[in-house]
């Protein structure tokens, strides 16, 4: 079957990544089944009326529902982007976290095996300890919180399956929240400073933040090239959250003096965060042709939409 005729089922279509990935897949010529918790909340109805996409509610905690719908839809490829990603929530609610991130993934795997579908699993830099940073795909994982442990367990289930599988790990995703109900670091900074509120942002954690459009593009490339194995998909700029916050404030001409750099030890958070993650993305560049947007340009692309959204 030609790549351009493949049917792709996407979980988590109502999230930040899903709301960017689904339209891109449609534009690239795929037939898309977008799934999410409850009704469609972010996809343009006009896109759905185009005929190459349908939205189907899917309960990731219901294995019977997952199997029934995946067998009915018979996708050629599944992109499993749905997850519980709130790190502190996962630490305080380990059973719900495990059910959403691990058990649901195993339901997806089981159903995918019945229709012989390929699987792209979306994972995270939090599978690593954060002791050294700039991780390669072959580096040993060592999560320091329950969220990271749950994502690593799901990865192992994917790797142990009989599927044609691939894993897309990513780092601190940001982008246009107009398409999603979820905030991210840039929109949070924008909202808080607009209200004149002072904020504290960590400056001792290192990341390679990922523009959501780049992540969606990377996943499309994985599908189009029938890639297998693990790929690190992130931005190329090494930044702290504080540096990201300052850049956001400057873009909106907001008061940067309201932003105070602090160490992670300042916060009493239920879940520990890895200090230094960030990815080496050489493999994705070499094998996929992945080329992420520079942070300075990506922030402009994201916020150009947000300017009109917030009437700036």
Over the stretch 169-214, which tens digit does the pLDDT of each residue have? Answer: 999 999 875 555 567 888 899 999 999 999 999 999 999 999 999 9
77 in Cβ contact with 32 (< 8 Å): no
Give me the percent of the chain exceeding a pLDDT of 70.
Answer: 94
Domain 3-177+210-235+277-293 has CATH 3.40.50.720: yes
Rounded mean pLDDT of 75-95?
Answer: 98
**Least confident window among 45-59, 136-150, 275-289:** 45-59
**Between the CA of residue 240 and those of 72, 206, 235, 266, 278, what are the distances in Å?**
45, 5, 13, 15, 10
Give me the percent of the chain exceeding a pLDDT of 90.
Answer: 82
User: Which string of b and e fits 200-209 if b means at least 16 CB within 10 Å?
Assistant: ebbbebbbbb
Query: Across the chain, what does the average pLDDT equal?
Result: 92
pLDDT over 50 at 64, yes or no: yes
Rounded mean pLDDT of 290-300?
Answer: 94
pLDDT over 50 at 307, yes or no: no
Rounded mean pLDDT of 73-91?
Answer: 97
**Pick from 9, 11, 12: which is nearest to 30 by CA?**
9
Containing H/E element for 162? Answer: none
Looking at residue 3, its pLDDT comes to 45
Rounded mean pLDDT of 266-288?
Answer: 95
**Least confident window among 48-62, 234-248, 297-311:** 297-311
The pLDDT tens digits for 209-246 are 999 999 999 999 999 999 999 999 999 999 999 999 99
């Amino acid at each position: 079957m030609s790549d351009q005729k493949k049917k792709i089922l996407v979980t988590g279509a109502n999230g930040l990544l899903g709301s960017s990935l689904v339209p891109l897949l449609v534009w690239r010529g795929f037939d898309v089944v977008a799934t999410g918790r409850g009704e469609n909340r972010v996809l343009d109805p006009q896109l759905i009326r185009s005929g190459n996409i349908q939205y189907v509610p899917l309960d990731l905690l219901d294995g019977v529902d997952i199997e029934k719908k995946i067998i009915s839809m018979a996708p050629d490829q599944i992109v499993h982007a749905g997850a519980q990603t709130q790190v502190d929530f996962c630490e305080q609610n380990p059973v719900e976290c495990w059910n959403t991130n691990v058990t649901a993934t195993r339901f997806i795997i089981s159903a995918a095996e019945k229709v012989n579908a390929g699987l792209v699993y979306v994972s995270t830099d939090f599978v690593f300890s954060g002791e050294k940073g700039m991780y390669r795909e072959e580096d040993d994982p060592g999560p320091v919180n329950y969220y990271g442990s749950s994502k690593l367990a799901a990865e192992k289930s994917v790797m142990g399956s009989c599927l044609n599988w691939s894993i897309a790990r990513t780092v601190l995703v940001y982008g246009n929240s107009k398409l999603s109900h979820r905030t991210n670091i840039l929109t949070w900074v924008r909202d808080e400073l607009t209200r004149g509120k002072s904020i504290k942002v960590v400056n001792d954690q290192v990341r390679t933040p990922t523009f959501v459009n780049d992540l969606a593009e990377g996943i499309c490339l994985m599908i189009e090239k029938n890639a297998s194995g693990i790929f690190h998909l992130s931005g190329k700029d090494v930044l702290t959250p504080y540096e990201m916050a300052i850049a956001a404030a400057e873009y909106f001409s907001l008061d940067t003096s309201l932003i105070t750099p602090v160490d992670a030890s300042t916060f009493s958070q239920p879940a520990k965060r890895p200090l230094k993650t960030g990815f080496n993305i050489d493999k994705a560049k070499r094998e996929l042709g992945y080329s992420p947007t520079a942070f300075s340009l990506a922030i402009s692309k994201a916020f150009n939409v947000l300017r009109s959204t917030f009437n700036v």
